[in-house]
Structure 1
């Protein structure tokens, strides 16, 4: 029997920012946009509380009040990235969004995830530390999506464990090691993801 505890309820999936005044929400987004611009221009190591404050044109204390510390800021950046991917696979066009066969959606999901790691890999690697991330809302929303597509594709076995296994192949730290140390291209890793998805969703031999 599959564990009910890992299932994520429908509804708003990322509550960060709920209940904020509109001006507070705008200020928060201003800081996240500044941090994201620093990542794209100089890499995650350039994202310091001082640098974000300077880029956003606010005092450093404002950044600390909004995010607590650099780790909180990195997690907020990752949440923002996850929201974009979530919107794409929930409401965007196929094959990533609804309307395509489940296997094709799984393949598209993996390739989209890899594309995000290419741009924001250091953010993923720095934010995705510690076992607590496996019980976080972003991780479990994504896991639920993958498990649902596996079930729709009639994959055999425990779809929750299988979802964990598949998502491990998209771990930011591993993907960056594969590209930066082992020399694989993202296209090769994406092709391997597709092969893996097709194998685990293939009908059992008669």
Structure 2
């Protein structure tokens, strides 16, 4: 029918699944830096031209690999049990998101880092980032926090792969410690501090 998006051909969908499965296994076994696009093509049994046309480069492949994993977290936010899903106060949902997103980034650190740093501003252009930002912004606005857009950006900037890697591998912080700290930070960002700040500036 006119206006419908074209469906992915069965063979193309099958090749996509093979490529993503091969990339996931190779990245887990060797680390992202040690795996080339040629390695992925060979492991998946597809031509290099097909791989480059479909994913562009290794960062595009990393982003596609993350799509499936991100979609599970997104479904939990939309329809899972509280406090991550609907039904809890917005500050508690934001704290649960910060903890869950930290765990997600830590679990897929190399792949997330590649997708976020492929080019200047790459992290901000992904559909998943827009989803996370909108989710945080809505929760912050529902909590009555001032400047919800800026606060959403601040929370997500704190949870980049680069920052998480620094905390985990350079400074040696434990995951439980970081999870608690990020939950606390999220709750503080959700506080309605605008009126208090204004009274302080006016000398009240």
- Normalised TM-score (structure 1): 0.81
Aligned mates of 1:115, 1:200 — CA distance in 2:
20
Query: 2: distance between equivalents of 1:164 and 1:18?
Result: 35
Counterpart contact for 2:98–2:186, Cα < 8 Å: no
Q: Residue 199 in 1 paired to residue 166 in 2?
A: no
Structure 1 position 140, deviation (Å): 1.2
Tell me the secondary structure at the aligned position of residue 128 of structure 1. Answer: helix
Correspondence 1:1-206 to 2 at 5 A: 19-129=7-117, 130-155=120-145, 157-204=146-193
Preserved CA contact (<8 Å) 2:116 2:122: no
**Per-residue CA shift, 1:22-46, capped at 9, x if unaligned?**
3312321221122112223332224
Secondary structure, aligned partner of 1:93: coil
* Structure with more relative contact order (C-alpha pairs < 8 Å, separation 6 or more): 1
User: Aligned-pair RMSD on alpha carbons?
Assistant: 2.2
Alpha-carbon distance in structure 1 between the residues aligned to 2:154 and 2:168: 20
Contact between 1:40 and 1:119, CA under 8 Å: does it hold in 2? no
Shift of 1:154: 1.9
CA distance in structure 1 between the partners assigned to 2:104 and 2:29 by the alignment: 15
CA distance in 1, matches of 2:28, 2:185: 30
The structural deviation recorded for 1:132 is: 4.2
Provide the residue aligned with 2:202 in structure 1. none
Select between 36-45 and 185-194 the one with higher mean Cα deviation.
36-45
What CA deviation, in whole Å up to 9, does each residue of 1:129-185 have, x standing for no partner? Answer: 221432432211110001011112222x11001100111111111110111001111
Range that drifts further, 31-40 or 45-54: 45-54
Q: Which moved more, 1:79-88 or 1:28-37?
A: 79-88
Unpaired stretches in structure 2, ≥5 consecutive residues: 200-204
Question: Can you give the 5+ residue segments of structure 1 that lack an aligned partner in the other structure?
Answer: 1-16
